[in-house]
Chain A
Amino acid sequence: MLKIQNLKATINEKLILKGINLDIKPGEVHAIMGPNGSGKSTLANVLSGKNGYKIEGEIYFDNTNLNDLKIEERAQKGIFLAFQYPLEIPGVNTNNFLKTSLNSVRKARGQKELDTLTFLKLIKEKAKELNIDEKFLSRQLNVGFSGGEKKKNEILQMKLLEPKLSILDETDSGLDIDALRIVADGVNSYKNQENAFLIITHYQRLLDYIKPDFIHVLSAGKIIKTGNADLGEQLEKTGYANLG
């Protein structure tokens, strides 16, 4: 599904990613762990298409070269990035945003756009699954939301847009134990043999709830070790320093 070959990314003349190789197949959950500044969020940004990076190497998503796609086209094709710090956007009504987003994606996928009533019914269902109060949906996007509410809102968007590849960037940060469980349940209930996850995290915590098939350790812009779920527990005990 996603094939990254010797990916290098530079921003402000600083080389952050120094040759990443990664192969994600449908049905798989990959975790990227690593210390601060190792390039984890840069990888997420580059996959989402954020401007400002100079890119070398290739990224294929379902055999399309991602470098040729605009940000919104990546989302329409099925890449979803749950942000580490979801933005507060004053004035923009959450429901209105979600409807615009869903219909943009549906249109691009050749599906019929949803009218307001059908949309509202759908979003209410999805919100309920994630224990999100309906009131949040009529408020301004993320404005005044707590950290946990913002992260739940990201997972809500994921479930609404039904991506093939979901990239969760530090989704566990700022979550209390109950919110963490809800978010993890949300991910687990969406997971199937057709889609895949790339979970970027600093800590093992989230991986206790969402079991990864592979764990990659990113350090100084390179993947220095790949293993199975046990690697995470090992890292929790020994820290990143001992991997050298």
Chain B
Amino acid sequence: MKQSYDFNIEEIKNLSQEEKISRKKSLDLFNKYGFPSKQVEDWKFTDLNLILNKNFDIISNEVNFESNKELEVIKNFEHNYIFLTNGKIISTSFPHEEKRKILITDFDKKEKTNFDSNNSLILLNDALSSGGFSLEIAKNYKLKKPLIVYNYFSDDLKNKILNNKNSIRMNEGSELTLIDYNDGKSQSNFIKNTIDTVILNENSILKNILIQNSKSNGHFYRYIKGSLEGSSNFENYILSSGLKLNKIEIEVNLNKDNSSCSIYSALNLLGDQHQEIKTRINHNSPNCKSYQKIKNVLNDKSKGVYQGKIFVEKIAQKTDAYQLSKALIVNDEAEFDAKPELEIYADDVKCSHGSTSGSIDSDAVHYLMTRGISKDEAVKLLINGFLNEILENITNSELKFFLEEKLERQINGH
């Protein structure tokens, strides 16, 4: 069985004839492969084709970007923001910053993704992408406050697919905390396919935080590709609980000495939610560090997946790579799959990986209940205790408080 697609490049505005031809090529290739199913090795735990078949009758890309939503800005948390509807910039605000140090524009459609991949979702994105933003931070500029990217979705997205590309360039010595904030109260079934290209030049620091703020029937796929120059640092925090389906792929290329990256995730999955995190860290240069800590709580009939690969090139001596995934399985019907992979060609490296899963400690629940706390609350306290560990390295207390509050909402099922 195959769902019917209605993908139309003509719907996309302002394309040159040349672009149309190139996009048509990508679309033809996509049509050859279709959405990936579990027969594709990278998708063996997330049969996207099957999932879409179950949830969509038809999928089309006719999208209008008109905003019909009032922007609700988060209060009591000082920040800058970019407001996107269906992935397109509606407004921006940088009250805390020197404005000429930050360049924010619509994504330049001529920018090539240049992914050497037969990933059909990337092909589809190449064919259909519209919207998206490009962000550049000037040399040595350190943003004083975090930047929140508000992602809003219009109400008419039933059976639609959104394809966005974003790019972020951190120039030498710049620093940014970026919070990608989804607030889709929209209950309609839709797909979002996003490609982020992130470049960190020497000594720059980017904290990239993904937050889902409400339950959503959205089916999300995101490919984040990071390329790091010397002594730069790319930190990722994934707090995306609440989406019906979510797969995040993060590829990080540690291209120059002393660059480092980390990936932390804390997910509390409910109902039949399904989330996969797939990472590939390429240690292409000596003395680089990578750190991954993936925590999943699986309730009800949910499914969590972690596929993590560490690749160490022959020249990448003194690599320090760490990877740990821990799952807390609350219900017997829930599932967690982990596939750690190490591929190492250098001989002087420190690489470790581990994966554990367990259930809720019933003695701990009993102890908490003898203190007047109901069973539900006790379990939530324990889940919170399990997940909030991933925030322990965040030193900015305002940011930490903000994230703790979001995590708690997710544990309470939004």
Contacts and interface: CB of A to CB of B under 8 A. Distances in A.
| B is bound to A | yes
Interface of A: 48-51, 70-72, 74-76, 80-81, 83, 86-87, 89-93, 96-97, 100-101, 104-105, 108, 140, 157, 161
Nearest to B380: A100
A93 B364 CA distance: 14
Contacts of B381: 92, 96-97, 100
Nearest to B373: A104
Interface stretch (B227-235, B242-250, B384-392): B384-392
B375 interface: yes
Given A50-B366, A87-B363, A76 B372 contact: yes
Interface centre among A70, A80, A93, A100 (most CB of B within 10 A): A100
A92 B385 contact: yes
Contact of A104 (B361, B364, B372, B384): B372
B364 A71 contact: no
Closest 6 CB pairs of A and B: A91-B385, A75-B372, A101-B371, A105-B372, A92-B385, A71-B369
Given A100-B373, A101-B372, A161-B371, A91 B384 contact: yes
B367 A83 contact: yes
Contact of B389 (A80, A91, A108): A91
Contacts of B368: 89, 97, 101
B370 A71 contact: yes
Contact of B375 (A72, A96, A157): A72
A241 B370 CA distance: 34
Given A87-B367, A89-B364, A72 B372 contact: yes
B386 A81 contact: no
Contacts of B385: 89-93, 140
Nearest to A81: B370
A31 B388 CA distance: 42
Given A71-B370, A81-B370, A97-B381, A91 B388 contact: yes
B395 to A, nearest CB: 15
Contacts of B98: none
A42 B73 CA distance: 55
8 contacts: A48-B370, A70-B375, A71-B369, A72-B374, A83-B370, A87-B363, A89-B368, A104-B371
A75 B377 contact: no
Nearest to A74: B370
Contacts of A50: 366
Given A48-B370, A89-B367, A104 B382 contact: no
Contacts of A72: 369-375
Contacts of A140: 385
Interface in B343-375: 361, 363-364, 366-375
Contacts of A157: 371
Given A91-B382, A91-B385, A92-B382, A75 B370 contact: yes
Size range of the chain B interface in the assembly: 20 to 34
B386 A91 contact: yes
Nearest to A167: B370
A80 B210 CA distance: 42
Given A89-B361, A89-B367, A97-B381, 16 more contacts: A49-B369, A50-B366, A51-B366, A72-B373, A72-B374, A74-B370, A75-B369, A75-B371, A76-B372, A89-B382, A91-B388, A97-B371, A100-B377, A101-B373, A104-B371, A140-B385
Contacts of B364: 87, 89
Contacts of B361: 89
Contacts of A71: 366, 369-370
Contacts of B372: 72, 75-76, 101, 104-105, 108, 161
A86 B366 CA distance: 11
Nearest to A97: B381
Nearest to A143: B385
Interface centre among B363, B369, B370, B375 (most CB of A within 10 A): B370
A33 to B, nearest CB: 23
A70 B386 CA distance: 26
A157 B372 CA distance: 11
Interface centre among A71, A140, A157 (most CB of B within 10 A): A71
A66 to B, nearest CB: 13
B76 to A, nearest CB: 14
Contacts of A80: 370
Contacts of B377: 100, 104
Contacts of A92: 381-382, 384-385
Contacts of B373: 72, 100-101, 104
Nearest to B388: A91
Contacts of A49: 369-370
Interface centre among A76, A96, A104 (most CB of B within 10 A): A104
Nearest to A73: B372
Contacts of B389: 91
A76 B371 CA distance: 8
B376 to A, nearest CB: 10
Contacts of A97: 368, 371, 381
A218 to B, nearest CB: 21
A108 B372 CA distance: 9
A75 to B, nearest CB: 4
A123 B384 CA distance: 22
Contacts of A93: 385
Nearest to A100: B373
A91 B368 CA distance: 14
Contacts of A161: 371-372
A157 B367 CA distance: 12
A79 to B, nearest CB: 8
A89 B384 CA distance: 11
Nearest to A80: B370
Interface string B234-258: 0000000000000000000000000
A96 B371 CA distance: 13
